[in-house]
Amino acid sequence: MLFTSFEFVVLVIITLILYYLPPLRRWQVPVLILASLVFYAANQADLLWLLLLSVSINIVSSYFVIYGRSDRRHFHAVWGVVANLSILCFFKYGPLLSRTFLPADSSLAETLIALPLPIGISFFTFQGISLVVDTYRNRDVPQFRSMIARNLAKHAQTVFFFKAFFPQLVAGPIVKAYFFLPQIKPKFWQDIQWDKCFRALVVGYFLKMVIADNLKDHTALITYPYFEAYSSLTLLGLLFGYSMQIFADFAGYSLIALGLAGLFGYDFPINFNFPYVSVSFSDFWRRWHISLSSFLREYLYIPLGGNRHGAFRTYLNLMLTMVLGGLWHGAAWSYAIWGFAHGLALAVERFIDNLFPTKPTRVSEFIRGIIVFAYVTVLWLLFKLPDFSHVIAYCRALVNNIDKPNDGRVLSLIAVYALAVILYHVNYLLGERRSKTEKHPAWEFAAYAIMIFLVITNSGSGGAFIYFQF
C-alpha cells in the first residue's frame, strides 16, 4: 500500500474519523496501532509476524531495564540490542553473506538467498535499538522512567505504537524514543497545525508523484546493459537526473510522513534540510537523511569514541560509522563502498580543514558546493547499480561513448523535472535572506496551487519509494 495509492487515502480518512471521535478518544493509540497493522499487512502480510516479534523483543527488554533487578539491567539492554541486530542481520544480510562465504550449491546458501527482505526492517530495528538504549541510559531519570509504565500491558501498547506508527513504519524518519514517547497523550482535532501539515503534504506529494515518478521512467535507462548504448553526455544527464530523483523521492516521502503524523497530533523531526546547497561533506550529512545521520552519530560514532581520542581514532571512527551506514542501506558490497567513499571524503575534509584553517568566502563556498554535489551525485550510481561490475561498466561507457549521438529528448525531460528541485533549493537560499516579517510571500500560494494542479494532471506512473528497499 503506497502513500500515493487510493487505498492508502481511504485508510487515512477512516483512521482520522475514528481517531478524533470523542467517544473513542481513550482508544486513540489502539486505533493507530490497528491502522498500522492494516498498512503493514497490505504490503507484506506474510511477514507481519516478524514485526510483532521485533516489537515483543523491545517490550520485554525495555521493561526489564527499568523494572527488572538492578544488577541485570545491563544484561537486558545488551540482549535487547543484540536481538534487534540479529533479526536485521539474518533477514537483510543473510543472502549477502551466503553469496560471499558459502558454496553456491549448499542448502544453507540456497535457504539464505531465498529469504525475503521485510520492508522497513532497517527503520523499525533502529527505532527498537533507540528505545532500548535510551531506556538504559535514562533508567535513573525520573522524567523518562515515568514514560515506561509499570503495567506491562500499557507498556506493550506504548512500545507497539512507537515502533509501528504507520507514517514512519517502512521508511522513517527514524524517531528516537526520548523524542516520541513524551508526545503520547490525548489529541484533539482543534490542535492540528493545518498550515504545517498542508505544506508538508503538498510539497511531499509533488516531489514524489510529479518529480520522482516522472524522472524514474527516464533514469530506468541506468540499467545494464541498456546504458551502454547512450552517449557520455546522456549518461551524465541520467546520473544527474537520478540524483534529483532520489532526493525528490525520499524527501517527498519524509514530508508526507511529517504531514500525516501532524494530522494525528504527532511531531516528526525534519529529515531533509535542502542537502544540495551543502558547502562541505559534513554539511551534507547534517542536511541529508538527518534522522539516520543523527542516529549513527549518537548511537555509534560517539560510543566508539567520536573525536575524543586523537586524530587517527577520529578518522577511523568516521570511516567505520560511514561504512556501517552504507551497509545499513542495502545488502550489497557496493553500499559498503558508498559508505567508505563518504567516510573518506569526511576524513579528508576534516584533515584539510585542520591543516589549513581559512575563513570561507562566497567564491570558495560556491566551488566547494559544486564539488560536494558532483561527488555525491557520482556516488549515487552505487545505489542505482548495486552490482559493482555494472558501476565499472557505466564509468567505462562515460569515457568511451563520447562520440555517440546525444538523446535530446531524455536530456530535455530530465532538465525540466530537475528544474523544480533546483528552484526548491533556490527558494530556500532566498528565504534565508528574506525579511523575517515576510515569512510567506504572496507568490508562494500560487506555487502551492500549481503543485496541486500538477499532482492531479502530471503525476508519473506510480512506483514504490526508493527507500522502501532499505
Name the residues annotated as catalytic. 329
The CA distance from 455 to 58, in Å, is: 40
Give the residue from 194, 78, 200, 56 showing the smallest Cα distance to 136.
Answer: 78
Per the CB < 8 A criterion, the answer to whether 394 and 222 are in contact is yes
One-letter identity of residue 342: H
Grid cell digits, residue 24 = 473513542
Cell (9 digits) for 383: 545505489
Question: What's the CA gap between 383 and 418, in Å, rounded?
Answer: 19
Contact 251, 271 (CB under 8 A): yes
In this structure, is the dihedral angle defined by the CA atoms of residues 353, 356, 358 and 362, taken in order, positive or negative? negative
User: Could you tell me which of 272, 252, 254 has the C-alpha nearest to residue 262?
Assistant: 254
Rounded-to-integer distance, Cα 212 and Cα 208, Å: 5
CA angle 187, 192, 196 (to 5 degrees): 140
Nearest to 91 by CA among 108, 115, 67: 115
Cα–Cα distance, 422 to 233 (Å, whole number):
20
- Residue 254 CA to residue 283 CA, distance in Å, equals 19
